[in-house]
Structure 1
Amino acid sequence: MAEEIRSLEDREARIGEIDQRLAELDEQYADELMPDNVRDEWNSLNSERDEHAATVAELRARRERLGSLASRGRSTERAATDTPAFVRQRGTDEIYDIPAARFASGSDEEFRDRLHDNARRVIERSAFPGQRREHCQERATELLDTVDDSRGALARRIITTGSPVYERAFGKAVLARSTNGLSHDEQRALSLGSDPDGGYAVPYQLDPTVILTDGGSTNPLRQISRVEPIVGKEWQGLTSDGVIATRTPEVGEATDGAPTFDQPTVRPSAVHVFVPFSMDVDYDWPRLRNELSRMFQRAKDNEEATSFISGDGQRIAGGGDKPQGIVAGLPSESEVLDGGAFTSEVLDDMEAGDNGLDPDWRANARWLGNKSIYNLIRHFDTAGGADLWTRIGDGLPPRLLDYPVAEASRMSGRPTGRYLVFGDFGEYLIVDRVGMSVELVPHIFGSARRMPTGQRGIYARWRNSSKILVPEAFRVLKAGPAS
């Protein structure tokens, strides 16, 4: 390095490169200790920078002195400059340059604003494989405006993984299941999206925790429930039975209407999927990009279709909360037992579930069940829907007992166990931690762990969970003992 850097301009350019690398390391390991090898790089770069800065200061002072002597008429000398202006790496688009945004900002708040402005420009430029572009742009912008934290964690992710260099590097690495062969710029771009726990961040355009699709399993819970994306590790909420309002004279002491608050927390747990590929598969990145987007979303949707119905909600030691299923998680007090035989008397049980719900919850209530259950219930109304269904001729009627109907394919299709849920699904919470990461598996070995199978793979991880916030907001029909 010392033999190549000789002139003042060379040293100033090198200081700019060091400044950018230091800023990148600081971004990558924000709020956590650096690994030993990274700390060694940090210290080495700082030492090199100090050496160059001292030399630059001396060379500039000498130039200033000579210039002063030559002009003779000048009475003052410009102060020596310790550091040059930030030098952006040649060829880097400014909207993807997070260190440049940091150097140009005078405060943390201004830095976050710059990140958000740049992230919006990245979203405007992005393409979304197999998706409606406007829908995806609206979704990403909404998350940016409502979910991002004070440090701009989501904006950084969008900027970093939305970079053309990052996507090119990610695509090459996925095709080869290895980072070998990447250029220096591609290696560095990919390192900025590395996960502290291992793996690389999925480009946000392919990430199902950021971009939602309309397809997948018949699992409407995301459409009818309360969904809270987060960028941190835990969602913290506040629930209450309500504040009591009372009338008062024009002058009078206020009455105590303080409610009792609960403060539920949900810590999303990890979900993973492994996608094997034959080493002989002949894909280019654009085609594989579309396939990965579909595979990630399909796997995620299918897992949620089961866990959001039947999850046990248990806390994993050091690993978050498993989803609490809307069927499995309701307490016994929420059950409405039928008479043991699935006959027209089940309509009385449904009305009992309706009547047993507090009016506050009935205002936004709906039914959730398997379509097979709805078809069985349909047979009990031979009048064609006048009393039970609304618009029975539409296939799956949109309303039952004048309440909206939603279909869950993973609920029981037979009237056994808990087979139909009624309630206000605004009190069922789904928490998503934004961000999916993948690890590349260059070789898959057989069951004996000795010989390769001729396959490679991609191992993907993301985090989410769910919780019933107010059990009193639901009733669940359950098959009673046979009579």
Structure 2
Amino acid sequence: MNFDLTDAAPEHKAGFSAGFATPRESYDELRQTFEDFKAANDERLAEIEHKRSDVLLEQKVDRINAALDAQQRRLDAVVLRAARPVMAAEPGSKPAVSEHKSAFDAYVRSGASEGLRAIETKAMSVGSNPDGGYLVPVELDTVIAERLAAISPIRSIAGVRTISGSVYKKPFMTSGPATGWVGETAARPQTASPTLDALSFPAMELYAMPAATATLLDDAAVNLDEWLASEIDQVFAEQEGIAFVNGDGVNKPKGFLNYTTVANAAWTWGNLGHIATGVAGAFAASNPSDSLVDLIYALKAGYRQNATFVMNRRTQALIRKFKDTTGVYIWQPPATASSRASLIGFPLADTEDMPDVGANSLSIAFGDFKRGYLIVDRQGVRVLRDPYSSKPYVLFYTTKRVGGGVQDFDAIKLLKFAVS
């Protein structure tokens, strides 16, 4: 039986084969839907060229565009499930259980904290008492970090540094020493001393509070490490994502859209440069993709080779209709099931926390985020078991410390939907 994606509702397509599709099947469906989209959009453009307007054709293009977004989300979910680290042991295997992991399991299941207290006293840990919670085993800490990297769009492309203190300070040179060319036997004039400053990245507390029933905790077959990681990774990723894009820096990381922006021609250190589309709240009617090309070349070549586009799916839906001068669509689906969609040959990170297109909005970012934005993770995730606040449930107050901010203001450029 053939299933025509062009006539199905987006929500129906998104659920088609849900739960059974492999990454390859989801990827093939996405590619086919994109071919349907190109055919319908080409037909729409031909009608416009002949100065005709077909409302049904416009609706068909929008419907397939929405289906493309739904299938991309579905593919992302399938690939993510396959990529997430699993902590459960293979059937029949008997892995070595660390002393810390064994003590942590006893604490989570029954509240017995003697083992953890002894371990953290031996390690001379500070501030790790019952009121502040206990550090999770290193195995669980690693899995949480890996899961966050897989599902947090900005974390997956930004620079990440693990620290043991509460603040990371990074020195940078505001003006370097004088340099120049000299002959082999010529005198070497004394050079000026460099001027140094420092950027500070404090680690702020992020928390989640999953709840468990006594039945779950008593069930010896349940891997509580796996349960805890799966309960908190999505919550942490969502909160991080919001902060890395729009955070104000007060008790949270400072998002890159929260820095002062200036026209790229007037860029100075401490600001992010932007390129204007020339139209308030929209792309230019003629050659709309030109502003994207201008954005790419606003970035220096040293940053451009590792750059990524960042925008939400609604902005992508607008851009998906654009073609280059040879008639090729500038948005292309992922080359493989586990890769990203691309825009003008550069990878594209879906970031739903980016603003929608509107008057003066900064809806598209482009840059080398590994050099441009730094995320600092303080070592250790803490868990405090609370069986009292929400009886009969047991709450697990889980915290980690995260900071973030722009570390290289020349590595990220923004597209502003404004006249100038």
Q: TM-score range by the shorter chain?
A: 0.5 to 0.7
Equivalenced residue count is 309
Q: Deviations over 1:208-248 (max 9, x none)?
A: 5874137753x332232211111122212122357564221
Give the partner amino acid of 1:443.
Answer: Y
The 3 A distance-change label for structure 1 pair 210 and 186 is closer
Provide the C-alpha distance between the structure 2 equivalents of 1:279 and 1:419, rounded to a whole number of angstroms: 46
After TM superposition, the structure 1 = structure 2 runs for residues 66-465 of structure 1, keeping only pairs within 5 Å, are 130=86, 164-176=98-110, 178-179=111-112, 188-189=118-119, 192=122, 195=128, 198-208=132-142, 211-213=145-147, 217=151, 219-240=152-173, 243=176, 245-251=179-185, 252-254=187-189, 256=191, 258-281=193-216, 282-284=218-220, 286-314=222-250, 316=251, 322-333=252-263, 334-338=273-277, 339-340=279-280, 341-342=282-283, 343=285, 345-381=287-323, 386=328, 388-389=330-331, 398-414=341-357, 417-425=361-369, 426-445=371-390, 453-465=391-403
| SS at 1:303 equivalent | helix
Q: Deviations over 1:143-196 (max 9, x none)?
A: xxxxxxxxxxxxxxxxxxx973332222122112x22xx7x6676336556715
**Bigger radius of gyration, 1 or 2?**
1
State the Cα distance separating 1:328 from its structure 2 match: 2.9
Give the partner amino acid of 1:368.
Answer: V
Given that 2:244 and 2:404 are in contact with CA atoms closer than 8 Å, whether structure 1 keeps it comes out as yes
Gaps of 5+ in 2: 1-83, 90-95, 264-272
Provide the C-alpha distance between the structure 2 equivalents of 1:421 and 1:222, rounded to a whole number of angstroms: 15
| SS at 2:292 equivalent | helix
| SS at 1:213 equivalent | helix
Give the partner amino acid of 2:246.
Answer: S
Provide the C-alpha distance between the structure 1 equivalents of 2:171 and 2:199, rounded to a whole number of angstroms: 6
Greater RCO, 1 or 2 (C-alpha within 8 Å, sep 6+): 2
- TM-score, normalised on structure 2? 0.63
State the Cα distance separating 1:312 from its structure 2 match: 0.9
The 3 A distance-change label for structure 1 pair 412 and 312 is same
The 3 A distance-change label for structure 1 pair 187 and 229 is closer
Q: Deviations over 1:280-320 (max 9, x none)?
A: 43532752221112223222222212111111123x5xxxx
| SS at 2:147 equivalent | coil
| SS at 1:466 equivalent | strand
The 3 A distance-change label for structure 1 pair 249 and 169 is same
Provide the C-alpha distance between the structure 1 equivalents of 2:167 and 2:184, rounded to a whole number of angstroms: 45
The 3 A distance-change label for structure 1 pair 303 and 384 is farther
Q: Deviations over 1:55-109 (max 9, x none)?
A: xxxxxxxxxxxxxxxxxxxxxxxxxxxxxxxxxxxxxxxxxxxxxxxxxxxxxxx
Gaps of 5+ in 1: 1-127, 134-161, 317-321, 446-452
Given that 2:169 and 2:201 are in contact with CA atoms closer than 8 Å, whether structure 1 keeps it comes out as yes
Provide the C-alpha distance between the structure 2 equivalents of 1:220 and 1:263, rounded to a whole number of angstroms: 27
Q: 2:72 is matched with which residue?
A: none
Q: 2:19 is matched with which residue?
A: none
Given that 1:209 and 1:435 are in contact with CA atoms closer than 8 Å, whether structure 2 keeps it comes out as no
Greater displacement, 223-232 / 455-464: 223-232
The 3 A distance-change label for structure 1 pair 412 and 208 is farther
